[in-house]
Structure 1
Amino acid sequence: MMVIEVKGLSKKFGDIQAVDNISFNVKEGEIFGFLGPNGAGKTTTVRMLTGIIKPDNGQINILGHDMIKDPIKVKEKIGVVPETSNAYIDITGWENMMLTAGLYDMPKEKATRRSKELLEDFDIYNRRNYKVKGYSKGMKQRLILCMALLHNPLILFLDEPTSGLDVQSSIKIIEKLKKIKEEGKTIFLTTHNMWEAEKLCDRIAIINKGKIAAIDKPRFLKEITEEMKEIEVIFEEKPDLEKLKKFVSIIRRKDKSFIIESEDMTDTIWKIGKFAMENNLQIKSLNTLTPSLEEVFIKIIEGK
C-alpha cells in the first residue's frame, strides 16, 4: 500500500526552479530516504509534503487525502521533525508536550500517559520540569521527536534528525526510528549521513537540481555504478609498482594493499594473476569491493 503518492510536483522561487516535475511513491511501513546536496530541493519538497508551502504544479496524496485540497486531515495523521528545534525554549519540556497535546485535542489523561512514556523512552523524563533553553541540542532534538510522536502519527517526516548531535543522542534517535518502523509506521527521512541512510532506509531517492536522479533500494543503487567496482590485492612481497601499472590502469595504495578500479572484474583478476606469475609473486589476498553508498551518491550527482 502506498501512503505517499507524488506526481509532477514543481515549485519555483523567482527564477529558481527549486523542484522540477518530480514523482515518487512511499510504501506503508518503510523508511524512505531522501538525499541530495545542499540546494537540491530536499527541504522544499518536504515543506510541500507537510503542507507548509503549496506547490506550483502537481499532486500530493497522503494516506488517501489530497494534501493541497484537504491539508488538515493529513496533518492530523503525520508528525514532523524539522532540522531546527521548534520547541518553545522559555517553557519546560513537559509544558511543550502538553501544548502539543492541546493542538491535537488529546484527553489530559491520555496526553499525560503518552508524554511520560515518550520522555522516558528518550531518556529526558528527569528533565521534564526544566526550561528547554537549558537543554543541550541533543535533548532538544529528542524533545521535538517526542512532540511529533505524541499523537501517534502514521507517518513521521524527519529533516536531518541527527545533524550536529553527539554520538549518544544520535544512537538513541536511530534506535527509536528502528522501533517506530517495527510498529508498522512509515518514516520519510532526509539526511546527509550516508551511513545512517544505508543502515536505516528500505529505499532511497536522490534529488539533484530539483529532479529525481535515482530511486531504489540501497543495494540496487550500488548496482547502478557497477563500473565503480574495485579489487583489493595484497602481495606477499612488495611488487614493482611501475611493472604492475603495465597490467592494470588505475591504482591507489591503502596501507599494504593495492586498490585497483576495474570495469571488467574477470579480466582484471586475470591480469593480476598473470603479473604475479611473471614476477614470481605470491598473492596473499584478493577481494572484490563494491562502492559505498557515499561513492554511489557522488557518482550519481556528478553524472546528472
Structure 2
Amino acid sequence: MTQPLALRSQAETLAAPLPALLAEAEHLATTVLLGEHGRRRAGTGDTFWQYRPAQPHDEARSIDWRRSARSDTSFVQDKEWQIAQSIILWVDQAASMSFTSDANLPSKGGRARTLGLACAILLIRGGERVGLTGLRLPPRRGEAQVMQMAQLLSQDDDSDYGAPQAQGMLPHSRALFISDFLGDLQPVEDALLRAADRGVRGALLQVLDPQEEAFPFDGRTIFQSMSGSLQHETRKAGDLKQRYLDRLAERKDRLAHLARTTGWQFQTHHTGESATKALLWLYGALERHA
C-alpha cells in the first residue's frame, strides 16, 4: 500500500505545473478580445446524431440507459449541435518538445501547451466545446474542463517524437494540432487524411526553437535527441548546415501542401516570437472554419 506521505508527495509533484500553466494560459487568453462568436444554427438544437461508448469523464446523467441496457457497454448520445461546436486539440508532449536553446526562452513544449490551453479557454468562453484527441477528454464546456485539460497537458511523453491521433475527431468538427513536427510525418498525414474524410477542418501550428532555424553549429558537434536514444557525432557540423536547412524547408513545404489539400491552415511559430501573435493566428484559423 502507498504510504500517505509518499502519496501526498506524488500528488503535489503532479499538481505543481498546473497553477503555472493555467496562469500563463489565462494571462495569454486575456490579450485576445472576444467578439461575437459561436455557430448557433437554427434547427440543429437537439437533433440526435449517434451513440458512442461512454468515457470516464462523461457524467452519469448523460448516459442513455435504454440503449446501454442492450449491451455490456454504457452509451452516450451525441447531438448534432454538439458536433458542430466541437474542437479537438492535440498538443505534442513528447521529449523533443522539451528543447530550448536559451534559458530566457520557453521550451517548445511549454509554449505549445500554453498556446493550446489558452486557445481552449477562449473557445470555451465563446460557447464552444473543447476536448483532446485520442478520446483522452471528450469535448465539453466549463471551467472544470479547462482544469482537466491543464492536468492532462502537464504530463510528459517519453517517446522522442509525438504523433497525432485521429480518434475522437467528430465529423464536421474542428481540430488543432500543435507540435514541432520533426518526427515521422506519415502519422500526421494519416491523421489529416482521416480528418478530411470526416469533414474535419482545422489548423497545424509548428513550434520551433530559433536555433532549429539558424543551425549555428560548426566544428566537432554531438547531436543528441532529448531522450538520449538518438545520437550523431560530426567533426564538421558546418558542412551539414545547408543540407539541414534544405530538409527543414522541404518538411515545411510538405506540411503546408498537406494542409492545403485537406482544407487546413498551417503556420510556423518560433519560441522567441510573441505568443499573443500565435494565439491570434490560431483563433483566427479555427474561426475561418466555423
- Kindly indicate which of the two structures has a greater share of residues assigned to helix: 2
Answer yes or no: same fold by TM over 0.5.
no
TM-score (norm 1): 0.26
TM-score (norm 2): 0.27
- Kindly indicate which of the two structures has a greater share of residues assigned to strand: 1
Structure having the higher Rg: 1
